[in-house]
Amino acid sequence: MKVRELMSDHVETCLPATSLTDAAMAMWRRDCGIMPVVRADDGRLVGVITDRDICIATATRHTAPENVRVGEVMQTDIATCRPDEDIADALDSMRLRQVRRLPAVDANNKIVGLLSLNDIVQHAEPMGTKGRPTVPSEEVMLAFKSICAPRGMIERELPSQTW
């Protein structure tokens, strides 16, 4: 199974110059907890901002969120995936990086979708399930355990299962 089969392909983005207020409002409208941040000139991915980033920045900066720009608090060390990548590889990236979502990018680093654990869980089935291709629930559980572990506490040497 490929990332493109499960990812959301209608992804709203923002710019580094976007205010935290505007980013939060866009997340509220779209019912999502993450927004890819792209460059204004060419649309290439430069970071991501989460609802948690907005909350922490707002609480610790002692200034109104409309006065803080996304570029000041966005995460720039981001894991991504490709639409033609196997779900198993994307799930391994999520597990190792302890992230719940991966922006899917093309060869030019432009957003083409977003893969979340929610997308994967909707297709999880026990090993040996007959029918259309699915994601083994055992692999999803392993990823959940790693992602939910305290930062730096995961076993990075856990073997990946071949589906």
| pLDDT in the model for residue 134 | 65
Q: Is residue 102 part of a domain?
A: yes
Q: Is residue 39 part of a domain?
A: yes
108 DSSP assignment: T
Q: Is residue 161 part of a domain?
A: no
Q: Is residue 158 part of a domain?
A: no
What does the angle CA 72 – CA 77 – CA 78 come to, to the nearest 5 degrees? 110
Q: What is the pLDDT of residues 29-66, one digit of tens each?
A: 999 999 999 999 999 999 999 999 999 999 999 889 99
CATH number of the domain that residue 46 is part of: 3.10.580.10
Coil/strand/helix, residue 158:
coil
Q: Is residue 50 part of a domain?
A: yes
Domain count, the chain: 1
pLDDT beyond 70 at 74: yes
Give me the domain span that covers residue 93.
3-148
Q: How confident is the model at residue 161 (pLDDT cuts 50, 70, 90)?
A: very low
| pLDDT in the model for residue 146 | 72
Q: Is residue 108 part of a domain?
A: yes
| pLDDT in the model for residue 106 | 96
Burial class (CB in 10 A: 0-12, 13-18, 19+), 163: middle
Q: Is residue 156 part of a domain?
A: no
Distance from C-alpha of 79 to C-alpha of 85, rounded to nearest angstrom: 13
Q: How confident is the model at residue 107 (pLDDT cuts 50, 70, 90)?
A: very high
Q: Is residue 63 part of a domain?
A: yes
Q: What is the pLDDT of residues 136-149, one digit of tens each?
A: 667 777 776 777 67
| pLDDT in the model for residue 157 | 44
Over the chain, what is the mean pLDDT? 85
Q: How confident is the model at residue 163 (pLDDT cuts 50, 70, 90)?
A: very low
Distance from C-alpha of 139 to C-alpha of 161, rounded to nearest angstrom: 7
